[in-house]
Chain A
Amino acid sequence: MELTDEELIRKYREGGDIDLFKVLVRRYQTRAFALAYRLIGNAEEAEEIVQDCFIKVHQNLDKYRAQTSFAPWIARICQNLCMDAIRMKQRRRDDEVLSFDPQAYGSDDECGSGAGRTVSQVADSGPSPSQVLDNQEESRLLEESIRLLPDNQRVVLVLHDIQGFSYQQIAEIVGTSIGTVRSRLHYGRMKLKEMLDPYYSEHGCQPVKSR
């Protein structure tokens, strides 16, 4: 029978068998990676963050309380690391004196905060509203649009609409009130809808069919 998270942690802390901790890592690494990837926008960096995340989880295992669910706890550590990375990037970017080059924003690793990008820049690299959006293209456009959201809205939107956490859990993960979560989610969705509206039919249910 599969051990629960709490049992794994208890047994690991009692015996120090690293294989037990590996089970825990394998159970949550995909989810943590998905969160990090969507917040950071770069697979390599996201992998690094996931590794750092589990190292931190390990360091703080004694602080973990079985009453709380393990998934939000990992998500909290992961999103904190992502926010730190984003802030660091932002600081580095602020320090650099760059000439304006819209093309430079096309690479994956520049998607952390979405700063400086516009919907039209996303659109330029994809099909126009009058073109067909196949599933793959639709996903790409959606992912790109998510990255353009302000950090605090993106975090809440990803945690709720993609990762499936409740408002209460998100409030704990992000360290804010449920009301703030609700508000950020609302504005995030509205912004996303605004960005995507030109690509969908007026009802917003189906991708535009005509080419």
Chain B
Amino acid sequence: MTSQENNLGGQEYEKEHELEHSACEPELEPSACEHELEHSACEHELEHSACEQVHEMLGAYLDLELSEAEFASVDSHLSTCSTCQSQLKALEALVDRLKALPEPTLSRDLADSIAARLEKTAPPILADSTAISAETTAAPPVVSMQAFADNKRRAGTFRYAAAAAVVAVLAAGVYFFSGNRSQTIPTLVAQAPTASVGEPQKKASPTEAVRTNQKDVVTAALAKNNPVKPLSKDAKPAKPRKVEALATVASADKDDVVDAYDDIVGGGVDDYGISTNEDGLYAIQL
């Protein structure tokens, strides 16, 4: 009997406890985790989202590109999660395979081809070389106006050049009407070439020297092309050395000419009376 009582007592106790338990639990945990099965599903979800978070960081963890805090959190997760451990292992294997890929080989050395292209198309970029080649001889300058028009990339420069040209034309008008032009215009013609005179001559082959000085050459060419002649005998003519360099303009690359022109726009080319039309074509004011 005693055992039966005990048993009954135990059952009652369990029933009571169950009631208590079910009554209390919702208050303590208002989520859907009343039952053990549901609870384990919930835990699994949490684990799953933690795995997802870690999964996104695994690559950076492997690459040692995480912050200390992130690294620590991934590290602690990895110590307990075998799924993420195996993912890390697979990722590591993939990265190892990528690193081990044979490097594609060039069929030939490109240095000479590149140097040859540079010889043809671009002047070497020198820190401050403005030397003039002594080998240049006088010849009619050929400055292609079309070259300027073709270069669409320089539309912005054209706009500035146009503005500068308008100012130049207005200034020229003022001089003509003021009657004081005899002193000023010749000086302007002579000024531009002097910008580079006296600069140290750089070590370079003759051909390189020619290429490196295209900017000066164009400056000189523009000076020669300028139909505005000195009106005063006192005015200094353009330096002969510069005029000699005109020959190289004929061989100058389109882009180089534009480069050179653009550079000197800010340095007083408007003084030569150069302007642009609506299409960006450069024209020299006569």
Asked if B102 and A186 sit within 8 Å, CB to CB, the answer is: no
Interchain CA distance A25-B114 in the complex, whole Å: 8
Asked if A189 and B109 sit within 8 Å, CB to CB, the answer is: no
Residues of A within 8 A of B102 (CB): 139
Asked if B118 and A55 sit within 8 Å, CB to CB, the answer is: yes
Asked if B106 and A29 sit within 8 Å, CB to CB, the answer is: yes
Q: Within 8 Å of chain B (Cβ to Cβ): is A138?
A: yes
Closest to B65 in A: A167
Q: Within 8 Å of chain B (Cβ to Cβ): is A95?
A: no
For chain B, give the interface size range.
Answer: 35 or more
Q: Within 8 Å of chain A (Cβ to Cβ): is B35?
A: no
Asked if B101 and A189 sit within 8 Å, CB to CB, the answer is: no
Kindly identify which residue among B94, B99, B110, B124 contacts A29, using a CB–CB cutoff of 8 Å: B110
Asked if A21 and B118 sit within 8 Å, CB to CB, the answer is: yes
Which of A43-51, A82-90, A96-104 interfaces with chain B?
A43-51
Asked if A55 and B125 sit within 8 Å, CB to CB, the answer is: no
Interchain CA distance A139-B89 in the complex, whole Å: 20
Q: Within 8 Å of chain B (Cβ to Cβ): is A65?
A: no
Kindly identify which residue among A15, A25, A37, A55 contacts B202, using a CB–CB cutoff of 8 Å: A15
Q: Within 8 Å of chain B (Cβ to Cβ): is A3?
A: no
Which of B56-64, B155-163, B277-285 interfaces with chain A?
B56-64
Known contacts A33-B104, A61-B125, A204-B89, A161 near B95 by CB under 8 Å: yes
Closest to A161 in B: B98
Dominant secondary structure at the B interface: helix
Dominant secondary structure at the A interface: helix
Q: Within 8 Å of chain A (Cβ to Cβ): is B50?
A: no
The number of inter-chain residue pairs (CB within 8 angstroms) is 134
Kindly identify which residue among A25, A58, A162, A193 contacts B122, using a CB–CB cutoff of 8 Å: A58
Closest to A38 in B: B104
Asked if B89 and A29 sit within 8 Å, CB to CB, the answer is: no
Q: Within 8 Å of chain B (Cβ to Cβ): is A16?
A: yes
Interchain CA distance A37-B110 in the complex, whole Å: 15
Closest approach, in angstroms, between the C-beta of B94 and any C-beta of chain A? 5
Asked if B126 and A162 sit within 8 Å, CB to CB, the answer is: no
Closest to B117 in A: A55
Asked if B94 and A34 sit within 8 Å, CB to CB, the answer is: no
Interchain CA distance A113-B276 in the complex, whole Å: 43
Interchain CA distance A106-B234 in the complex, whole Å: 77
Asked if A26 and B91 sit within 8 Å, CB to CB, the answer is: no
Interchain CA distance A113-B106 in the complex, whole Å: 22
Closest approach, in angstroms, between the C-beta of A199 and any C-beta of chain B? 11
Asked if A189 and B94 sit within 8 Å, CB to CB, the answer is: yes
68-102 of chain B: CB within 8 A of chain A: 86, 89-91, 93-95, 97-99, 101-102
Asked if B95 and A189 sit within 8 Å, CB to CB, the answer is: yes
Residues of B within 8 A of A62 (CB): 125
Residues of A within 8 A of B214 (CB): none
8 residue pairs, one from A and one from B, having the closest CB atoms: A204-B90, A161-B98, A22-B111, A25-B111, A16-B124, A37-B104, A13-B127, A205-B93
Q: Which residues of A contact B (CB under 8 A)?
A: 12-18, 21-22, 25-26, 29-30, 33-34, 37-38, 43, 46-47, 50-51, 54-55, 58-59, 61-62, 138-139, 142-143, 146, 157, 160-162, 164, 166-167, 178, 182-183, 185-186, 189, 192-193, 196, 200, 203-205
Q: Which residues of B contact A (CB under 8 A)?
A: 56, 58-60, 63, 65, 86, 89-91, 93-95, 97-99, 101-107, 109-115, 117-119, 121-122, 124-127, 129, 202-204, 208, 212
Knowing that A38-B104, A59-B122 are A-B contacts, what are 15 other residue pairs whose CB atoms are under 8 Å apart, sorted by A's residue number? A16-B202, A18-B124, A21-B115, A26-B109, A29-B106, A47-B106, A51-B113, A58-B114, A58-B124, A58-B125, A162-B101, A166-B65, A186-B56, A193-B90, A203-B86
